[in-house]
Structure formats: C-alpha cells, structure tokens
Amino acid sequence: MSGAGNGLFELPDELAIDTGVARRLIAEFIRGQLRQAGFERAVLGLSGGIDSALVAFLVAEAIGAEQLHCVMMPYRTSSPASQGDAEEVVRRLGCSAELVEITATWARGFVTCAARLARPPERAVSSPAPATAATRTSAAR
C-alpha cells in the first residue's frame, strides 16, 4: 500500500495515480475547452478555499498566469483569513486580480428572490383537452 507518510492514511495501491499525467491531462482539457469557446484568457472567482485555489493553479499551469484574472468576492460574513488565502494564491501565481465586495449586490438579489417567494403562485387555468377519436372510443366502452 502507498502511504501518505504519516501513518494516518494509507492509499490503496489501486487508487494511486500518476499526478504528473493527471496534471497534464487536466491542463490539456482546460486549454481545449477555452480554445473551443474561442477564449485565450480566463476569469476565475477565487474564494480562498481549497477548490478555487486548486483550480487557479491548474488554470495558470494550463494557460499561463498572465492569462488568468482572479476575482475575489468577499461577503460581509466572509472570513478575513479566506481573503488572505486568496491574496496569497494570487501572489504565488503572479496573476492579475481584483476585489469586488458583493454584500450589497447579494442583499439586493436576496430581497428580490424573497419578494417573489412571498407572492402566491400564479395558477394557470387549464381547459380539458378536446376529445379525440381515441378518447371517445375508450369512453364509449
């Protein structure tokens, strides 16, 4: 069995992967999808969490950090540590980035959705389907 080295977790041999091959395949996939869509650059929402950080590194590896623009979008309850982590990803990659505070935008969207949900649903008035030869025949039996 392959181990993580610390004895806390051992990876079964059948789950072991060649990470170099995996990274190359992911990079080729990213480049192919961008090319298919007609893009040379990518914009990425960067939260500071592991998911978006990993994607940022993979995209930068695939197309180059100079072609990646990260947008950090903290909400009022976001952890300052998350923003710090996102800024560290940007620093390490050397890509461009901007900070867009989303609290007010999110609140407006929430109020709009809440107002829609508070209204009673509109009921469509349906009329019975016109009788067809098949329905008249089955009704006559």
Say what the pTM is: 0.68
Say whether pLDDT at 5 is over 60: no
Could you tell me the CATH number of the domain that includes residue 32?
3.40.50.620
Q: Tell me whether residue 118 is in a domain.
A: no
Q: Which two tokens stand for residue 64?
A: 């180059």
Residue-wise pLDDT for 24-66, tens only, equals: 999 999 999 999 999 999 999 999 899 999 999 999 999 999 9
What sign does the dihedral 35-37-41-45 (CA atoms) show?
negative
Say whether pLDDT at 127 is over 80: no
Say whether pLDDT at 103 is over 90: no
pLDDT at res. 27:
97
pLDDT at res. 28:
98
Q: Tell me whether residue 135 is in a domain.
A: no
Domain ranges, residue 43: 2-104
Q: Tell me whether residue 71 is in a domain.
A: yes
Q: Tell me whether residue 94 is in a domain.
A: yes
Domain count, the chain: 1
Q: Tell me whether residue 81 is in a domain.
A: yes
CA pair distance 131, 66, nearest whole angstrom: 66
Between 5 and 107, whose confidence is greater? 107
